[in-house]
Chains A and B, each alone.
Chain A
Amino acid sequence: MNWTAVASIYRFEMARFFRTLTQSFLSPVMSTSLYFVVFGAAIGSRIDQVEGIDYGAFIVPGLIMLSVMTQAISNASFGIYFPKFIGTIYELLSAPINFLEIVLGYVGAAATKALFIGVVILATASLFVDLTIAHPFAMVLFLLLTCLSFALLGFIIGIWAGNFEQLQLVPLMIVTPLVFLGGSFYSISMLPPIWQKITLFNPVVYLISGFRWAFFDTADVPVGLSLLAIGGFTTLCLAVIWWIFKTGWRIRS
């Protein structure tokens, strides 16, 4: 392993993040606060409790997941698309590094940024509601795995994308709906029976359910299944990336 190269990519990518640190910090704080004003105060005053949990607290895991997933995807996809777009990818292709090292550098940086956002949201949320975390270790694990797997997905999107529109398209058209319909702001048990079945085809359901279990010890689907789902998703993304570098798809003519 060429660890120096991994560290170089990671540092270079993080530099972009630190240049805009205030912005990176302020926007999740702002949007989280807005969610609490709208959902927590306006809707929460009517819904009150979901499965014995204060609605304000109930939405925190989903809120974190929503931001972490979109951030991980957009950071990772932009991170690799940009060198492709401006041509600096020549250096990655001609350096003595393999695909795993490239992925570790780019995906590692994107996951770190997403993790940072997740933590900021958690901290902001705890200013609005009382939060006790039932399984802190599992919470961290779910958070890390989500950052990682969605950064991997973002990396694939960044390589696939041929222009900036496509770069925006997948997160906007696929991921955001899946997250919103994945029980971020409600419990699946609140849905009509038929939708309870359909919704199980949404992979995000398993992540949010598992993450919420780590907070409140209640889940829509068994937590083991959640872990399996996220593990399987990570493996799938890794396999796709391995194939991309093996065949040079969209990066090497």
Chain B
Amino acid sequence: MPAILSIRDLRKSYANAFEALKGVNLDIEEGEILALLGPNGAGKTTLISTVCGIITPTSGTVTVGGHDIIEDFRAARSLIGLVPQEINLEPFETVWNTVRFSRGLFGKSRNDALLEDILRKLSLWDKRNNKIMELSGGMKRRVLIAKALSHEPRVLFLDEPTAGVDVELRKDMWNIVAELKASGVTIILTTHYIEEAESIADRVGVIADGQLLLVEQKDQLMTRMGKKQLEVQLTTPVAVLPDALAHHDLQLVNGGDALIYTYDTRGERTGITALLNDVAQAGLVLADVQTRQSSLEDIFVDLVSGDAS
């Protein structure tokens, strides 16, 4: 499938000379869901805002549906819907007028049935004649989503859609996302919740310090993250690995002080029992045993430090 969104060597330096994007390359296929993970200030919002036309890139190119976002901004932007991170809404307007305004702004002809459908799905229909300022925070976020959906985008950006949102809305939201995906909409979302990325995304991108450190199929990433390590500390160090243990995937560390065994938690057998038996057979005495799982944070740190060296 052709890439619906294609980002090439995208850089952004703000007016204060701070470089928030340091050459980002990314291709997103039509109909996929990409989750962007990254710490605060990583550049997620900057990346999204640049693609949407809110920020002017310093250099690099972006095409949406084959249309350059600057040369052919009309065609490119018509395809895009954006749910911003901040709740920016006109407080004195009604929900209905606000959503209708968004549709018109994108040049789409009036379609009240569609707007009704969107508002119902977001449980906003009863509030349609209320002013925005009369809504709760979570409801306002739904209005932002309704606005973005009102003009039927083919590519939808959700910038931290679940920040400050209750469990109920989170569920509603993922239902809507699933439905949109089924209708072929491409979705790019940012989040700080790893489980969220896990449950919904096809691919996961990790961004830190203005750089896209990794983009991987979720399954591969999960495999990486599914790896666990068992560290066995010995009372007396050994110089070499005893032959009896050679067939286990083992590393000798700390000058022979400890053994590290790597295994997959999702495998049918972890091999731990066999290993510990063999360790005892080889006459080694255990001082302590501990396990570790590489978290996404570890992967962050690995990637960032690996990048620096």
Contact = CB atoms under 8 A, between A and B. Distances in A.
A86 B84 CA distance: 13
A139 B76 CA distance: 45
Nearest to A105: B105
B101 A8 contact: yes
Nearest to A10: B104
B107 A4 contact: yes
B163 interface: no
A248 B103 CA distance: 24
A16 B105 CA distance: 17
A8 B77 contact: no
Contacts of B106: 5, 95-96
Contact of B52 (A5, A86, A94): A94
Given A2-B107, A9-B105, A16-B92, A248 B56 contact: yes
Chain A binding surface SS class = helix
B55 interface: yes
B203 interface: no
A95 B89 CA distance: 16
A86 B89 contact: yes
B63 to A, nearest CB: 15
B171 interface: no
Interface string B265-287: 00000000000000000000000
B27 interface: no
A88 interface: yes
Contacts of B53: 93-94
A92 B92 contact: no
B203 to A, nearest CB: 24
B97 interface: yes
B86 to A, nearest CB: 6
Given A4-B108, A94-B77, A97-B105, A88 B90 contact: yes
**Most chain B CB atoms below 10 A, which of A5, A7, A253:** A253
Interface string B40-52: 0000000001001
B74 interface: yes
Contacts of A134: none
Interface in B95-139: 97, 100-109
A240 interface: no
A12 B82 contact: no
Interface string A6-48: 0111011001100100000000000000000000000000000
B97 A94 contact: no
Given A16-B92, A88-B89, A94 B108 contact: no
Interface string A76-108: 000000110011101111111110000000000
Interface residues of A, number: 28
Contacts of B52: 90, 93-94
Interface string B48-91: 01001111100000000000000001111110101010101111
Contacts of B49: 90
Nearest to B46: A253
Nearest to B51: A94
A92 B53 CA distance: 10
B73 A96 contact: yes
Nearest to B54: A93
A197 interface: no
Contacts of A4: 104, 107-109
A88 B140 CA distance: 13
A87 B91 CA distance: 11
B129 to A, nearest CB: 13
Contacts of B104: 4-5, 7-8, 11
B216 interface: no
**Most chain A CB atoms below 10 A, which of B76, B82, B107, B147:** B107
**Most chain A CB atoms below 10 A, which of B14, B73, B109:** B73
B278 to A, nearest CB: 62
A135 interface: no
B74 A96 contact: yes
B82 A94 contact: yes
Contacts of A8: 100-101, 103-105
A200 B74 CA distance: 45
A156 to B, nearest CB: 20
Contacts of B100: 8
B24 to A, nearest CB: 17
Nearest to A247: B56
Interface string A105-138: 0000000000000000000000000000000000
**Most chain B CB atoms below 10 A, which of A86, A92, A96, A253:** A96
Nearest to A4: B107
9 contacts: A7-B104, A8-B103, A8-B104, A11-B104, A86-B88, A248-B56, A253-B15, A253-B55, A253-B56
Interface of B: 14-15, 49, 52-56, 73-78, 80, 82, 84, 86, 88-93, 97, 100-109, 147
Given A92-B105, A96-B77, A252-B54, 20 more contacts: A2-B107, A4-B104, A4-B109, A5-B105, A5-B106, A5-B107, A7-B104, A8-B101, A9-B105, A15-B93, A86-B89, A87-B88, A90-B54, A93-B53, A93-B54, A94-B77, A96-B106, A97-B107, A98-B74, A253-B15
